[in-house]
Chain A
Amino acid sequence: MRKVAVLGIGQTKIAEHWEFSIRELAGEAVFRALEEASQPPIDGLFVGNMLSPLVEHQSSLGPLIADWIGLRHGEAVKVEAACASGAAAFRSALMAVASGQMEIAVAVGVEKMTDQHPRDVTFGLATAADADYELDQGVSFVGLNAMIMQRYLHTFGWQSSDLAAFSINAHQNALHNPYARLHMAITREDYERSHMVAAPIRLLDASPIGDGAAAVVLAPADRLPPGNRVLVTGSGAATDTIAVHSRRDPLFLQAAWRSARQAYQQAGRQPEDIDFFELHDAFSIMAALSLEAAGFAERGQGPRLALEGDIRPEGRIPICTRGGLKARGHPVGATGMYQIVEVVQQLRGECGPTQVPAARVGMAQNIGGSGATILTHILERD
Chain B
Amino acid sequence: MEVPRHWRLKKQRYALVGEVCPHCEAKIFPPRDVCPECGGEAKTTFQFSGRGEVYSFTTIYNPPRGFEENVPYTVALVKLDEGPIVTAQLTDVDAEQVEIGMPVEMVTRRLRQDGDERGVIIYGYKFRPRSLAS
Residues of A within 8 A of B (CB): 118-120, 122-123, 126, 130, 132-140, 142-144, 146-148, 150-151, 154, 196-201, 241, 243-246, 250
Residues of chain B lying within 8 A (CB to CB) of residue A133: 12, 30, 86-87
| Pairwise interchain contact B124-A119, C-beta atoms closer than 8 A | no
A80 CB to closest chain B CB, in angstroms?
19
| Pairwise interchain contact B58-A198, C-beta atoms closer than 8 A | yes
Q: Does B20 contact A (CB under 8 A)?
A: no
Q: Does B122 contact A (CB under 8 A)?
A: yes
| Pairwise interchain contact A138-B56, C-beta atoms closer than 8 A | no
In the complex formed, the residue of B with least CB distance to A200 is B58
| Pairwise interchain contact B59-A198, C-beta atoms closer than 8 A | yes
Q: Does B70 contact A (CB under 8 A)?
A: yes
Residues of B within 8 A of A (CB): 5-6, 9, 12, 30, 36, 55-68, 70, 73, 75-77, 84-89, 100, 111-112, 122, 124
Known: A123-B65, A143-B75. A136 touches B60 (CB 8 A): no
Contacts between the two chains (Cβ within 8 Å), count: 110
B6 CB to closest chain A CB, in angstroms?
8
Report the bound CA distance from A119 to B64 in whole Å.
6
Residues of chain B lying within 8 A (CB to CB) of residue A201: 58
| Pairwise interchain contact B124-A136, C-beta atoms closer than 8 A | yes
Report the bound CA distance from A120 to B64 in whole Å.
7
Interchain residue pairs with CB less than 8 A apart (29): A119-B68, A120-B65, A123-B65, A123-B66, A126-B64, A132-B9, A136-B6, A136-B9, A136-B111, A136-B124, A137-B89, A137-B124, A138-B64, A138-B70, A138-B89, A138-B111, A138-B112, A139-B87, A140-B62, A140-B63, A140-B64, A143-B75, A147-B76, A148-B56, A151-B56, A198-B62, A245-B77, A245-B85, A250-B55
A309 CB to closest chain B CB, in angstroms?
29
| Pairwise interchain contact A243-B63, C-beta atoms closer than 8 A | no
In the complex formed, the residue of B with least CB distance to A122 is B64
B129 CB to closest chain A CB, in angstroms?
17
In the complex formed, the residue of A with least CB distance to B88 is A137
| Pairwise interchain contact A150-B30, C-beta atoms closer than 8 A | no
Shortest 6 CB-CB distances between A and B: which pairs? Answer: A146-B58, A151-B56, A245-B85, A138-B67, A147-B56, A123-B64
New contact pairs (18) apart from A138-B73, A246-B36, CB-CB < 8 Å: A122-B62, A134-B87, A136-B112, A136-B124, A137-B75, A138-B60, A139-B75, A139-B87, A140-B60, A143-B60, A143-B75, A147-B76, A151-B55, A151-B100, A241-B36, A243-B87, A245-B86, A250-B77
Report the bound CA distance from A174 to B42 in whole Å.
50
Residues of chain B lying within 8 A (CB to CB) of residue A196: 59, 61
Residues of chain A lying within 8 A (CB to CB) of residue B88: 137
| Pairwise interchain contact B100-A154, C-beta atoms closer than 8 A | yes
A242 CB to closest chain B CB, in angstroms?
11
